[in-house]
Structure 1
Amino acid sequence: MKLYGLKTCDTCRKALKHFPNAEFKDVRADGLPEAVLNAAHEAFGAALLNTRSATWRGLDEEERAGDPVELIARHPALMKRPLIEAQGKLYLGWTPEVQAALAG
């Protein structure tokens, strides 16, 4: 299992606490592999962008209208977190639904 997020993100910390053996990748420090980013965008579309983040609020309208994949590649903190890769499947966020899917 791989968990992509930010080491300073409380939600990522909660997920890591639940899965202490997961391989954690800090997207700000390590980046997000292009193949994973493209697969996540294909799976989650616009939901992949965290439009409530301080990073998003700091972008101008022209940047916000850009390609979401390029935006996340340039500004990894724009990705909704955590992005979890488990058994060949991607999960976004740490919702009760994601927790139940990963528990079973």
Structure 2
Amino acid sequence: MGSRVLVTTRQEEVVGLMKATAQMIRMKELDGSFCLSLFYHSAAMDEGSVSKEFSNIGLEIVKKCKGLPLAAKSLGSLMQNKKTVHEWRAILDSKIWELKEIDTLEVS
């Protein structure tokens, strides 16, 4: 009977904007090993059979995800199409990591 909406956010102000009764559950970041496993699973790769060079780059990418599962999953999915060490390193060295906040546009 009825329905529910699940909203995930890192900004507590979003919970305050919810019109209905909001029940907030605080989640912690994923442990590094879980985040790494999620990354490789999303990349459709067997974590145990990854070469040392890919493994080192993957570990550095996951560190930049800061335990956020959506980041690890999204980047892992992106890596499905990246087959060379050069492509992986390009993701690791991307300037996008330097952004502190992404500006949003208001649509009227």
Larger RCO (CA under 8 A, 6+ residues apart): 1
Q: TM-score range by the shorter chain?
A: under 0.3
More strand as a share of residues: 1
* Larger-Rg structure: 2
